[in-house]
Chains A and B, each alone.
Chain A
Amino acid sequence: MSTAAPYTTIIGLEVHVQLMTRTKLFCGCSTKFGGAPNTQVCPTCLGLPGSLPVMNRQAFDLALRAALALDCTIAPFTKWDRKNYFYPDLPKGYQISQFDLPFSSDGTLEVVDPKGAFEPRRVGIIRVHLEEDAGKSMHDEAAGTGDTRIDLNRAGTPLCEIVTQPDLRSPQESRAWLNELKLLLVYLGVSDCNMQEGSLRVDANVNLHIPQADGRVAKTPIVEIKNMNSFRSVERALVYEAARQWEEWQATKAEMGKTPKQTRGWDDPAGITRAQRHKEESSDYRYFPEPDLVPVTVTAEQIASIRGEMREPPVSLRKSLASKWTISAYDADVLVNQGRELVDYFEDLATRVGEGKVASNWMQQDVLRILNDTNSTVTAFPIRPAGLADLIGRVVKGDFDTSRGREIFAEMVTSGRPVDEVVASMGISAVSDDDVLALCRELLAANPKIVADVKSGKEQAAAGLIGQAKKKNPNVNPGKVRATCIDLIRAME
């Protein structure tokens, strides 16, 4: 662990998330993923001569929602800037972004590990700003010509850039924080945060603070890591990079400021970071205010209306879920971390079952297990809360024991049929109280030794009766048999 390491790892993240708008940031083209190349384009996102941008207010409002959820200060006046650079997937030769007056700044997002793997960490957000995405370059190596093909479907898609303070102290913590950020943005409907489709991208800035014998703290040069395509790669890249910087420090004693900031790309298969060309990092983007767009003003009323539409964020939902359903903070955390849909499912179930703890146990031990095994989501889960509540109710009532209940549950998942049908098809029938009584009398008569043992105070001897009861009637509830037998023996005295 880093506490034992002779240095502290200092990490800041830069996250780009694609906003869930139907159309692009400055034109009416669709943002749908996966269309045939260059089919979702128009003069504006193609950067044709004479075309002009018009801001998509929905994108701005979604970005405001994200910034509010991150406790940012919202600027009453914000403007757009041009970031100038040449690249084939940037058809205008500049990206419309925000430079010195981002629409929001100075927020926080805390991450807590319920198992206490690290101390709760409140991470400062320097700024959140809006910008348009570039297109995609695809190097056509298959054709062997070395041609590059450009797809501009993505050009102009709204992106929210979230820049943190260097407040993170370990790769593990960074990954957990990213999970928390993703959870928040997905809860609020700001982004689907799908890394495979490029709707969430992370760059990390990392260096080491190394206490010196003279009390001074040496700081290694900051390295920006790019090309990480999962939170797992972020964690791995940071682990690698911290170790690499430590080695380099021991060899060179090079400190921050004496060498320029370096950009390194994460090579996932190789598990290493590689230095990228200097050219790419020393760009002068010649930012200046975008003259084709007017500044945006945000009023207190607009902020209030966006706040009013916002759903409860994970951090407060964990608390409210725990107190409303009297479940543990850990249980609430597990449920909330699965996403809004699962929480909705749970609350529906708990309401029907009438008891939060029982519903939570079934969710965690049974529903989540299936979801994980099948790598699916609760919205696609074949048993709806009403059906599951029916099953749980009968188990609670004692119609089936828990293990029988689980068998029925498994069959309900596979067949998608309700409890009654599954029970019938499995040949299970509920055993009446009279049948249980008759069975127990029969067993006691046949097992005088056990009866004597129980009489002498060894109640555990009754367990010997359960197996025999199950053989005679597999549908019988063992708990009920045990209780009935003991009651009958006591009554003999």
Chain B
Amino acid sequence: MQPLEMSAVDLVAALRQGDITAVQCTTVFLDRIEATNGTINAFLTVDREGSLVRAADIDARRKAGKPLGALAGLPVALKDVLCTNDMPTTCASKMLKGFRPPYDADVVARLRQADAVFVGKTNMDEFAMGGSNENSAFGPVRNPWDLSRAPGGSSGGSAACVAADMAPVAIGSDTGGSIRQPAGLCGITGLKPTYGRVSRRGLVAFASSLDQIGPMARSAADCALIMETIAGHDPGDSTSLSVDVPRYTDLLDKPLSGVRIGRVPEHYAEGLDPEVAKGVEEAFAVLKAAGATVHDVQLPHAKYGIPTYYLIAPCEASSNLARYDGAHYGHRAEPGGHAKKAGGFESPLVEMYCRSRAEGFGPEVKRRIMLGTYALSAGYYDAYYAKALRVRRLIRQDYLDAFQSVDLVGGPVSATPAFKLGEKTDDPLAMYLVDLYTVGTNLAGVGGISFPCGFTKSGLPIGFQLQAPPLAEPLLLQAADRFQRLTDWHRRRPKAAGEVKA
């Protein structure tokens, strides 16, 4: 089998057994990136030189019989929201164009320790704000299944690069669905772990109380492999959970019999694409066949998920993004004739702030900063932010209540398959609704996984989502893996990307 088609689990085994060297493996993926990235635009930075040096070092150490990390030689792509001390970290924003952090994110350090090889940094919606990857300052990513369509977002580059075989594994971040939704639209598997399971240190913050890092790969088994490296307590992140990390890969073999899966009738209300609905129903049938039972459950406050999310996330973002002011790093506007009289700025400092931020941020980022700033302002706080926090507690309680009677909650990831590039860019509200089925997981702080459960007639992937109680990642991965042992949707490769290769 060719490395491009192998799972991460198999690649790591092949590397360990010496069937393939790290340099060979890295080169194959780098060449694939070189051939396809011009079309897909999944990568913002490709580190050919650095990754080959690293791969050669791993090969040398293996040859010398020295101990190697669990992922030795495995190519990994990193969403450009994760700090890396040897590659730029831009968050797909003009604001951080060329910015090089002096430190590695905790997740990056753990992957380095495991001897993974970073092939590059992936494209995304600017500062992880968006659901289509069209908010990148460096151009949109194209969906490998249909180049005229969006890959979803915000981890669109990470999803597309895995779908297009540019990397076996990518790391994404999920604030309201940013791993699961693009995974669903690109036909790959993406896990959003429980809040606090993976350290956020070095993840450039969008909404601190919602952000969570997770793996994106071709299968649940590959996600399980990556989780063993990236999960765990970090004393440098006060919100990280001090709980032992299970051997996720060992727990996959447990049968699904007796596992109760909840089905939310409200999910099938208007707006759900019939082909998606059909795919989702068929997924339930497969899980039943695997021994699970399916039960209707209620999430009464789910309908408030979007408005609640679009208050809490912008409020936190408005504060998290205040540091990009041109004073210390990042984009700074050139001083230019906007004197007090001409431009209306009260001081050169205020002018520098205003113009640096006006030039550095894209429209969606500005929109959310303004939303959040407004909602936190004196006189509005109670009506908006404080109320949103109360609803958030109700939503979390809904989930905890549901998990009294079921072990998992299943349903669609997105209401529709991948939409056309440009289709929703003029309508921010329509774009916000792409997170409809995913924001609840983040607001509740629980975990969720998305994996392909079918294709539309036109050949677009359909995603299925499972959500689990806090720290039930083993069950999420076990159920998704069981599903993938019984189906081959996750093995299908996009033709569009294949054509690009030629």
Contact = CB atoms under 8 A, between A and B. Distances in A.
A49 B96 contact: yes
Interface string A257-294: 00000000000000000000001000010111001111
Contacts of A48: 101-103, 329
A47 B328 contact: yes
Interface string A33-63: 0000000000100111111111100000000
A92 B323 CA distance: 4
Given A48-B101, A291-B209, A292-B239, A84 B376 contact: yes
Interface string B374-410: 0011100100010000000000000000000000000
Chain B interface size range = 35 or more
Interface string B172-208: 0000000000000000000000000000111111011
A146 B473 CA distance: 56
B378 A52 contact: no
Given A49-B83, A92-B322, A279-B346, A288 B89 contact: no
B238 A50 contact: no
A8 B91 CA distance: 59
A82 interface: yes
Interface in A16-46: 43, 46
Contacts of A46: 328
B353 interface: yes
B428 interface: no
B105 interface: yes
B83 A50 contact: yes
B388 to A, nearest CB: 11
B293 interface: no
B327 A150 contact: yes
Given A49-B204, A291-B209, A43 B238 contact: no
B419 interface: no
* Central interface residue in B105, B237, B325, by most chain A CB within 10 Å: B325
Contact of B235 (A54, A279, A291, A292): A54
B334 to A, nearest CB: 15
Interface string B311-325: 000011011011101
B349 interface: yes
A284 B201 contact: no
B346 A291 contact: no
A88 interface: yes
Contacts of B321: 93
Contact of B381 (A94, A288, A292): A288
Q: Dominant SS at the A interface?
A: loop
B238 A292 contact: yes
B236 interface: yes
Given A43-B103, A88-B327, A50 B201 contact: yes
Contacts of B204: 49-50
Contacts of B91: 49
B310 interface: no
A288 B385 contact: yes
B24 interface: no
B203 A50 contact: yes
B9 to A, nearest CB: 29
Contacts of A94: 319, 322
Contacts of A284: 377-378
Interface string A145-186: 000101000000000000000000000000000000000000
Chain A interface size range = 20 to 34
Contacts of B103: 43, 48
A79 to B, nearest CB: 12
Interface in B316-352: 316, 318-319, 321-323, 325, 327-329, 346, 349
B27 interface: no
Contacts of B377: 284, 286
B432 interface: no
Contact of B323 (A47, A286, A292, A294): A47
Interface in A55-73: 55
A284 B376 CA distance: 9
A91 interface: yes
Contacts of B346: 279
B45 interface: no
B323 A91 contact: yes
Interface string A67-100: 0000000000000001010101001111000000
A156 to B, nearest CB: 14
Interface in A278-322: 279, 284, 286-288, 291-294
Contacts of A55: 238
Contact of B238 (A53, A86, A88, A288): A53
A292 B323 CA distance: 15
Contacts of B329: 48
B238 A49 contact: no
B201 A52 contact: yes
A52 B200 contact: yes
Contacts of B205: 49-50, 292
B289 to A, nearest CB: 42
A293 B83 contact: no
A74 B105 CA distance: 36
B353 A86 contact: yes
* Central interface residue in A50, A53, A84, by most chain B CB within 10 Å: A50
A14 B237 CA distance: 32
B268 interface: no
Contacts of B202: 50-51
Nearest to A80: B238
Given A49-B91, A50-B203, A294-B239, A86 B325 contact: yes
Contacts of B203: 50
Contact of B376 (A88, A93, A288): A288
Given A50-B83, A50-B101, A286-B376, A82 B236 contact: no
A291 B316 contact: yes
B101 A293 contact: no
Interface in B208-250: 208-209, 235-239
B90 to A, nearest CB: 10
Contacts of B105: 50
Contacts of B318: 84, 286
B39 interface: no
B319 A82 contact: yes
A414 B349 CA distance: 56
14 contacts: A49-B89, A50-B89, A50-B203, A50-B205, A54-B236, A54-B238, A93-B322, A284-B378, A286-B376, A287-B381, A288-B376, A288-B381, A293-B239, A294-B239
Given A48-B329, A84-B322, A291-B207, 16 more contacts: A47-B323, A49-B91, A49-B101, A50-B83, A50-B101, A50-B201, A54-B237, A86-B322, A88-B325, A92-B323, A286-B377, A287-B381, A288-B376, A288-B381, A292-B208, A293-B238
Interface of A: 43, 46-55, 82, 84, 86, 88, 91-94, 148, 150, 279, 284, 286-288, 291-294
Which 8 A-B pairs rank lowest in CB-CB distance, beginning with the nearest? A93-B322, A291-B208, A286-B376, A291-B209, A49-B204, A50-B202, A50-B83, A88-B327
